[in-house]
Amino acid sequence: MNPDPMLRQMRLRLWLAAALPAVLVMLVLLVLFVQRHSFELLQAQQHQAQAVAKQLASQAEFALFAADVQTLQRLAGATKDSDDDLVAVALRAANGHFQAGAGRFGAQLPDFSGNRVHLNGDRLWVIYEVRSQLMAVDDPLAAGLLESGVAESVVLGYVALEYDLSALQRSSRQLLLWALAATGLALVLAALLSALIASSVTRPVAHISDVVRRIGGGQLQARADVERCGPMAQLASGINRMASQVAVTQEELMQQVQQATDELRLQKLEAERTARTDGLTGLLRRRAFIELAEAEIQRSLRYEDPLSFIMFDVDHFKFINDNHGHPCGDAALVHLAELLREQMRDSDLPCRWGGEEFVVLLPRTSADVARHAAERIRSHFEANPVRWKDRSLRVTASFGVAAFDARDISLSSMVARADTALYRAKRNGRNRVEVAEGGFAAGLEQPTA
């Protein structure tokens, strides 16, 4: 990044840090003010509407009592003409038999019951009851209806008013626009002031950053001008000292990096070897074997080459561990692995499958040839006992052989068939070879001695 864009970005960040909180507070205060002002205007409009409804109800009381529709119509028209925001007036008797009005309501009014104020978008509805006070007198005919001297309120009808709040809402929007304009002006002024303040900070930072960039690019002789850095002079001095130390020790650091790289490469190779081979026997681990076996299966399918699989298990291995100790068992496994490698071709894939169980994949090998190979390995184990301390231990193994069956291209299927043959060898007396059914050369299977 060259100095100019970096300088502009830093100035922008300084401006945001200094001016933005104040602007946000101003915006919040202005919005609250506008909302408060709009609410007060609406409240004033509602109070005015209720006062008009109450006054009209008082004027229309006798006309409703006398069912004077003409007078009611005149009162409705006069009330509507008195206010430009009043778009409709309605007077209705309590029994609904007659009604007078002026203007047209924008929507269906709510039920005429009680005194209420209803706000619907840009419309304000006011429903007000017209009541008449009936005064009881000493007339014996009224005595049965009212107690003497007590007044009862009777609903004669209702007044309905509809106000258009569009002008009120326009006033609120205009106020909001003025508030936003004032905020925008304040923002511009704050930006100018912040730019003046930020320039005194960003110039030294830009100079130091340029020096650091040049040092990072290999110009180890670049140095910061401490006198130009003002309050950041201490930082500039530290960078100069750092550059001097880097220039002096660069060759040493490069040598250390090269040495560390070589060690890391060796460690990586060792880790890869450890991950693929068994630490005790040096044979392939199960995961690495499966990867290679899957590739051999694909090659066998492509070229229609035979492929065989041998699985063997050390006989009575638990007895060896229990009677001679686990170190003796480990020595037996290492010895068998060495004997196994002696009998393998370069293309064969021997693997420690798990515990005392081993497998071998034989590419380009039929079941009959694999059976003979397994018999050769078995005989080699039998003829070469394990030397442990001052004793010689005869260690044998049972073998199961399976040929790859193209009808089932799964490695697990071939392993399962070899495992079945292995357990048949154990049931038939151990230290023997059994061939599984199926595979390219299933017909060559012969009993072993």
Q: 125-134 pLDDT, tens per residue?
A: 788 788 886 5
- What does pLDDT average to over the chain? 80
- Please give the torsion angle defined by the CA atoms of residues 33, 39, 42 and 44, in that order, rounded to the nearest 10 degrees: -80
Whether 356 is catalytic is yes
Q: Say which DSSP state 135 is in.
A: E
End-to-end CA distance of the chain: 81
Q: Tokens standing for 143? A: 């005595």
Counting beta carbons within 10 angstroms of the beta carbon of residue 145, is it exposed (0 to 12), middle (13 to 18) or buried (19 or more)? exposed
Q: Quickly state the pLDDT bin for 440 (edges 50, 70, 90).
A: very low
Instruction: Determine which of 8-12, 39-43, 68-72 has the lowest per-residue pLDDT on average.
Output: 8-12
CA gap 265, 102 in Å, rounded = 96
Overall average pLDDT of the 23-43 stretch: 73
Does the structure show a pLDDT above 80 at 24? no
- From the number of C-beta atoms within 10 Å of its C-beta (0-12, 13-18, 19+), residue 375 rates as middle
396 phi and psi, to 5 degrees?
-120, 175
134 token code pair? 């009936």
> How far is it, in rounded angstroms, from Cα 316 to Cα 430?
9
The more confidently predicted of residues 290 and 178 is 290
Geometric angle at alpha carbon 214, from 211 and 216, rounded to 5°: 110
**Distances from the Cα of 114 to the Cαs of 64, 101, 130, 160, 371, in angstroms?**
17, 19, 10, 11, 105
The residue with greater pLDDT, 388 or 2, is: 388
Would you give the DSSP letter of residue 277? B
Q: Per DSSP, which regions of 193-330 are E strands? A: 307-314
pTM, two decimals, is 0.44
Q: Which long-range contacts (CB under 8 A, 24 or more apart) does 55-60 make?
A: 56/89, 56/91, 56/128, 56/159, 56/161, 57/128, 57/129, 57/130, 57/131, 57/159, 60/91, 60/130, 60/157, 60/159
Q: What is the mean pLDDT of the segment spanning 341-348?
A: 95
Query: Average pLDDT for residues 402-422, to the nearest whole number?
Result: 88
Residue of 116, 138, 137, 139 lying closest to 126 (CA atoms): 116
Q: How many CB atoms lie within 10 A of CB 382?
A: 13
Among residues 129, 162, 356, 434, the one annotated as catalytic is 356
Is 118 in a helix, a strand, or coil? Answer: strand
Nearest CA-CA partner of 362 in 280, 278, 441, 281? 441
Would you state the torsion angle of the CA atoms of residues 324, 329, 331, 335, taken in this order, to the nearest 10 degrees? 120
Cβ atoms of 270 and 328 within 8 Å: the answer is: no
User: 114-128, 132-146, 185-199, 409-423: which has the minimum mean pLDDT?
Assistant: 132-146
Domains and their CATH numbers in the chain: 3-170 (no CATH), 286-444 (3.30.70.270)
> Is pLDDT of 14 > 70?
no
Q: What percent of the chain shows pLDDT beyond 70?
A: 80
Between these two residues, 264 and 140, which has the higher pLDDT value? Answer: 264
Query: Which segment, 9-18, 154-163, 427-436, is predicted with the most confidence on average?
Result: 427-436
- Residue 95 buriedness (CB in 10 A; 0-12 / 13-18 / 19+): exposed
Residue 32 vs residue 112, higher pLDDT = 32
Q: Is 110 a residue whose pLDDT tops 90? A: no
pLDDT value at 146 more than 60? no
pLDDT at 171 over 80: no
Lowest-confidence segment of 195-209, 216-230, 372-386 by average pLDDT: 195-209
DSSP state of 274: H
In Å, what is the CA distance from 269 to each residue of 19, 239, 258? 57, 40, 17
Indicate whether 370 pLDDT > 60: yes
Q: Kindly calculate the radius of gyration of the chain based on its CA atoms and give it in whole angstroms.
A: 51
